[in-house]
């Protein structure tokens, strides 16, 4: 078991660091080009490995934060990747069974996280923030699946950016908590959200044409 945990830990660290450095590259290069697709796929698989190994380690060691960040990162990474398949959503294309299952599972997980954070003693703002962001994401996604007619222009792209950048925020948060010991709680959890969410909003506005509706 000790050997398994050690291998799992090093695999988690390797995948996490890969995603940490690859994500900015995917954001900088030309969107839709070969380099963007390549580094985007590398980041996606790195987040899947990092999130999966985090869940394994957290489950075996009772580490609530690592478990939550692993689930958070996994869900948002698949959300960002799956959004690439939603370019014609509502215009002859409807959500697949996988879409319904994933959004309902995410809704349940993030709602539970939010409620647990609100009623935990002592009060845990990290669970509230992570659970709240995840819940808003899944509710918007669910409303988009139910909404009749085609989605607003490039909504799939906004979702793609939200999912991947959100997954990156979760990864940076985990790195901050485990490695940047000089930052006090709860700022060590929350500074990646405070710093990177404005960047996320800027990227979304840059890649959605002006004057087009974007709200689901």
Indicate whether 171 belongs to any domain. yes
Indicate whether 33 belongs to any domain. yes
Indicate whether 214 belongs to any domain. no
Cβ–Cβ < 8 Å for 57, 8 = yes
What's this model's pTM, rounded to 2 decimal places? Answer: 0.83
Q: How many domains does the chain have?
A: 1
Indicate whether 104 belongs to any domain. yes
Q: Which two tokens stand for residue 142?
A: 């669910």
With H, G, I as helix, E, B as strand and everything else as coil, classify residue 213. coil
Which tens digit of pLDDT belongs to each residue from 119-169? 888 887 878 888 888 898 899 889 888 887 888 878 888 889 889 998 898
What mean pLDDT is predicted for residues 1-15? 87
What mean pLDDT is predicted for residues 193-197? 89
Cβ–Cβ < 8 Å for 199, 192 = no
For residue 113, what pLDDT is reported?
Answer: 86
Cβ–Cβ < 8 Å for 169, 193 = yes
Indicate whether 21 belongs to any domain. yes
Indicate whether 111 belongs to any domain. yes
Indicate whether 10 belongs to any domain. yes
Indicate whether 30 belongs to any domain. yes
For residue 41, name the pLDDT band (cuts at 50, 70, 90).
very high
Cβ–Cβ < 8 Å for 169, 150 = no
Using CB atoms within 10 Å of the CB of residue 1, give its burial: 0 to 12 exposed, 13 to 18 middle, 19+ buried.
exposed
Dist CA 189 CA 74 (whole Å): 18
| Domain carrying residue 117 | 2-207
């Amino acid at each position: 078991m000790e050997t398994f945990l050690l291998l799992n830990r090093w695999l988690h660290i390797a995948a996490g660091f890969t995603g940490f450095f690859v994500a900015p590259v995917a954001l900088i290069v030309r969107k839709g080009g070969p380099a963007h697709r390549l580094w985007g796929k590398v980041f996606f698989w790195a987040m899947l490995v990092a999130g999966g190994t985090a869940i394994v380690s957290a489950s075996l060691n009772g580490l609530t934060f690592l478990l939550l960040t692993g689930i958070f990162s996994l869900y948002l990474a698949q959300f960002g990747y799956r959004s690439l398949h939603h370019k014609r959503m509502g215009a002859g294309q409807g959500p697949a069974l996988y879409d319904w299952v994933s959004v309902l599972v995410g809704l349940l997980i993030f709602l539970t996280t939010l409620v647990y954070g609100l009623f935990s003693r002592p009060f845990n703002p990290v669970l509230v923030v992570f659970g709240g962001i995840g819940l808003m994401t899944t509710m918007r996604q669910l409303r988009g699946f139910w909404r009749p007619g085609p989605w607003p222009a490039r909504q799939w792209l906004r979702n793609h950016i939200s999912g991947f950048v959100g997954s990156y925020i979760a990864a940076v948060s985990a790195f901050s908590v485990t490695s940047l010991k000089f930052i006090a709680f709860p700022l060590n959890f929350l500074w990646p959200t405070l710093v990177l969410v404005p960047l996320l909003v800027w990227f979304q506005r840059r890649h959605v044409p002006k004057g087009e509706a974007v709200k689901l």
